[in-house]
């Protein structure tokens, strides 16, 4: 074995060690989150008998399901070293496009598909602005956020579109059940399981980790990082569009304001779940646990009759603590 082979094997060993350490850290964060959620459930069950009822648990999970779908997309963007501030507006735009087309006589299924395509193209535009024009993800997605919200207002003229005449089969997506479990929760769980598996196990999505960890090293290793980033923003937009078309099935209305603040909820959940703002680290499972924790906290605050103003402040404090922990943890490991 010559010196070059020894160096290659040494590098492979280091990479495997780093990967193992990251997996252990992710596993620790996920386990800690599960423990926190269980403690919260136990405490609230002793405080209020209504907290642990099936009705409240189902209502809580229905409330976080569409947010959770967006969280899955946002997690991939954060792992790639970016973020998408336009997801909330794009979710609203998807619902508005589908609703407007339906009211114009188009089948709701075709309208929903058209909305998904248009919003996904918006995500591709975000990616092109970042990779080809050179804009930062903050500026590009902030601009798209305003553009998409403006389109929502123009299409609806600022008035929610009533979609109560949608066929029952479509409305069942948002309100139907199978074996007692709402379809909307099942969709959320299926998307979570599939996306988490693909991110962990497939070579295609592993490129997202390499790009987020060290974009220059990824480029030198032959990864087309521009294509990865464009694909990432297409995925975040696609996830937002799914949330948007499910929302109109749930509420039977396409509101131009739907999705306001959703981007911050998604980022908060991802960071709480162990996704690093520095990129290259995190899991969708952890991020989804983060949105579940936020949902449980909001449910607890409602049951305890805490003012909505305090709810917003508490959520912001949790975000600040999670981001601070992430930064401190990252500094310790970089020493």
Give residues with Cβ within 8 angstroms of 181, minimum separation 6: none
pLDDT, position 308: 75
- pLDDT, one tens digit per residue, over 79-122 is 999 999 999 999 999 999 999 999 999 999 999 999 999 999 99
Residue 281 predicted with pLDDT over 60: yes
The confidence score (pLDDT) of residue 170 equals 96
- What digits encode the pLDDT tens for the residues 243-271? 999 999 999 999 999 999 899 999 999 99
Q: How confident is the model at residue 69 (pLDDT cuts 50, 70, 90)?
A: very high
**Distance between CA atoms of residues 268 and 323, nearest Å:** 8
How far is 300 from 294, CA to CA, in rounded Å?
10
The larger pLDDT score, comparing residue 325 to residue 107, is at 107
Q: Who wins on pLDDT, 282 or 321?
A: 282
Give the pLDDT confidence of 138-158 residue by residue, as tens digits.
999 999 999 999 999 999 999
Average pLDDT over residues 296-305: 90
- Is a pLDDT exceeding 90 seen at residue 288? yes
In this prediction the pTM is 0.87
Closest CA to 66 of 309, 199, 246, 233: 246
| Every domain of the chain and the residues it spans | 27-328
Q: For domain 27-328, give its CATH number from 2.60.40, 1.20.5, 3.10.290, 1.10.3470.
A: 1.10.3470
Write down how long the chain is.
335
CB atoms inside a 10 Å sphere around CB 131: 18
Tens of pLDDT along 2-23? 544 444 444 444 444 444 444 4
327 has pLDDT over 90: no
Q: What percent of the chain has pLDDT over 70?
A: 90
């Amino acid at each position: 074995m010559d010196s070059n082979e020894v160096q290659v094997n040494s590098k492979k060993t280091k990479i495997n060690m780093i990967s193992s350490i990251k997996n252990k850290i992710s596993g620790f964060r996920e386990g800690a989150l599960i423990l926190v959620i269980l403690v919260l459930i136990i405490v609230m069950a002793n405080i209020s008998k209504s907290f642990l009822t099936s009705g409240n648990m189902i209502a809580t999970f229905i409330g976080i399901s569409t947010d959770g779908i967006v969280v899955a997309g946002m997690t991939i963007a954060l792992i790639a070293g970016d973020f998408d501030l336009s997801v909330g507006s794009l979710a609203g735009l998807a619902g508005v496009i589908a609703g407007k087309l339906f009211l114009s006589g188009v089948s709701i299924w075709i309208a929903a598909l058209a909305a998904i395509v248009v919003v996904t193209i918006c995500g591709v535009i975000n990616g092109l602005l970042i990779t080809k024009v050179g804009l930062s993800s903050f500026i590009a997605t902030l601009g798209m956020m305003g553009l998409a919200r403006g389109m929502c207002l123009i299409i609806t003229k600022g008035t929610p579109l009533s979609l109560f005449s949608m066929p029952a089969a479509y409305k069942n997506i948002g309100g139907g059940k199978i074996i007692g479990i709402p379809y909307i929760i099942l969709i959320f769980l299926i998307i979570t399981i599939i996306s988490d598996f693909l991110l962990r196990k497939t070579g295609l999505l592993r490129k997202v980790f390499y790009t987020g960890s060290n974009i220059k090293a990824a480029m030198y290793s032959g990864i087309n990082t521009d294509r990865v980033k464009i694909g990432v923003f297409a995925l975040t937009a696609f996830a937002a569009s799914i949330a948007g078309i499910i929302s109109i099935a749930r509420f039977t209305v396409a509101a131009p304001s739907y999705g306001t603040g959703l981007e911050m909820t998604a980022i908060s959940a991802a960071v709480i779940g162990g996704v690093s703002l520095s990129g290259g680290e995190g899991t969708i499972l952890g991020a989804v646990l983060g949105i579940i924790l936020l949902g449980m906290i909001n449910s607890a605050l409602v049951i305890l009759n805490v003012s909505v103003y305090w709810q917003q402040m508490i959520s912001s404090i949790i975000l600040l603590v999670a981001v601070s922990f992430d930064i401190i943890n990252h500094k310790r490991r970089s020493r």
